[in-house]
Structure 1
């Protein structure tokens, strides 16, 4: 795999990874953004809540956003990503893993980085209920780990065109 050099030079206070992390987690706010919640019932009797946001123009592309440990679909790193994609003509589906949407899940089971069957259920739901020709996945931390595990287990649907992971 080629190494691609970056020429990104962050502004002075954000040159420190610690400042960037604290700012993103405690101070950053995403304004003028809304999501629509959909509950996906799973085959095992539990559920996952999906937070949808849409481009101003009709889109045939969606990005699935997967949060990290202790995260959820309203964290600024998720909503900021969703807003960015929406502004650029891409719909987004932020997945709240089991027990992460503000409501306790039904089963005595939590989410974990190996629960690719839950991600597969989300993808199959999108394929059966929406008309997207291209699906991308963006996973942060634990969600990035889940993304890579899912892709490595293969085969994946043809509609999945790519993925990016952050801090896995």
Structure 2
């Protein structure tokens, strides 16, 4: 089976701009222009709460495939930071895989989507244990085989880390695909604050501040932050919350805690693909080029695509839909 490659993505001008690709990827314009079929994964979706221990729960949505044929397997989708199960890219990918015959589970990370009131403790990016437990529970609740996982940006980082724990936790994960995952969080934070255009910082900070306010409203007797802290820079607010709500002791230790840089993926047993672009203005491509990967992990660097964009044309359809669908189809074929 011939699989698409990142070099196959050759959008016409002006969509060769990484900034335009990035800005369009999660824009309201894109959601409005996408055809109705790109949101069909929402139709008949079942709301699910996944018990991850210690009284905590993560929320998600399950949609069973409706092709009339046996299920190809279970596709699990992870959104990016301050995204949700209803982010445009998650809906579009989920709808495409649903058409292909996969059952779809879209998972919200803690404090994402409308889940701020579910758990008292605050989200942070090192909460990999609860995501691993959630994957195990999802596999138990929906035992379609194979089970394949796709994640975007921070969700791609979580997907890769979860795959490293899969064998030890008896998670029947057959394949992982990470789109523009965060590789080196310290380098990524530095890039956002010092190199990337201000509009990206403004976008993420506005969403993050809103999320923190929603958390505070959900648990008014807890003090999650001081109002003055919300006016801090991205790195300083992260530092404040790390020192207040985690045991890491420093911002640097926290950022290192969810890094997958260098040779940290060397022991991963689950087959995987990492797709990124050279013109990603959010995550520098150098971090990908410096990865030392085992033979079961494919690294695919496209020339274009921005950060989780890969938008083909002004119909707002994405190259990643075909890319993910083709690789998931190969996984399904290997299990027949």
Band the TM-score falls in, shorter-chain normalisation: 0.7 to 0.9
Question: How many residues are aligned here?
Answer: 165
Match of 1:159 among 169, 172, 175: 172
**Farther-moved stretch of structure 1 (112-121 vs 89-98):** 112-121
Give the aligned partner of residue 30 of structure 2. Answer: 28
- The residue correspondences of 1:1-168 to structure 2 (distance < 5 A) are 6-26=7-27, 27-29=29-31, 30=34, 31-32=36-37, 33=40, 34=42, 35-57=45-67, 58-155=70-167, 157=170, 159-168=172-181
Assess if the C-alpha contact under 8 Å between 2:132 and 2:166 holds in 1.
Answer: no
1:30-53 C-alpha deviation (Å, 9 max, x unpaired): 524223211123311121111122
| Structure (1 or 2) with the larger CA radius of gyration | 2
Could you state the TM-score of these two structures normalised by the residue count of structure 2? 0.45
Cα RMSD of the aligned pairs, angstroms, is: 2.1
Distance 1:94 1:113 in 2: 18
How far is 1:56 from its partner?
1.6
Distance 2:166 2:50 in 1: 23
Question: Where does the alignment leave 5 or more consecutive residues of structure 2 unmatched?
Answer: 182-336
Change (3 A) 1:87 1:39: same
Question: Where does the alignment leave 5 or more consecutive residues of structure 1 unmatched?
Answer: none
How far is 1:155 from its partner?
2.1
Distance 2:6 2:101 in 1: 28
Assess if the C-alpha contact under 8 Å between 2:52 and 2:134 holds in 1.
Answer: no
**Structure with more of its chain in strand, by fraction:** 1
Relative contact order, higher structure (CA 8 A, sep 6+): 2
